[in-house]
Amino acid sequence: MAALGTNVLVRLLVEDDAAQLAAARKLIRRCLNAGEALFIPITVALELEWVLRSSFGFDKVAVVATLSKLLSTFELVFESERSLELALMLYRDGPAGFSDCLHTALASTAGESPLWTFDKAAAKVTGARLLTR
């Protein structure tokens, strides 16, 4: 199974470069025709959220919708999919950033809780705790 990098997913989502978009679509068609899914590392999902928000102005609602849609496609297989789904839920419903929600979700899914943090917003995520003096 081949894997996709962040920039390929970004081209597919924002369609801002016609040549790269065509190449990404061709790759996906080729893989689908071969009966192969494409793997998305968890680090790519993390970077994708950041790029969509910081470079393309996606708000929280749009990021959650976009990542949720990607999770539902049969062409893509996500590393730590259960954790990613939990992170999206925590992010959608809480005050912390996506990365803090993903860190907490990964720890929780691994059975390792709480996730200790000095970040007050991150500590509000279910499964995280504020470390104080």
pLDDT at 16 over 90: yes
Closest CA to 126 of 71, 107, 47, 118: 107
**Per-position b or e across 49-86, b if 16+ CB within 10 A of its CB:** bebbbeeeebeeeebbebbeebbeeeebebebeebbbb
Each residue's pLDDT tens digit, 38-84: 999 999 999 999 999 999 999 999 999 999 999 999 899 999 999 99
Statement: residue 133 has pLDDT above 90: no
- Can you give the pTM of this predicted structure? 0.93
What's residue 1's pLDDT?
Answer: 80
Helix axes 6-14 and 42-56, enclosed angle (nearest 10): 50
The helix (H) or strand (E) run that includes residue 115 is strand 115-117
Whole-angstrom distance, CA of residue 57 vs CA of residue 62: 9
pLDDT on residue 45: 98
Average pLDDT, the chain: 96
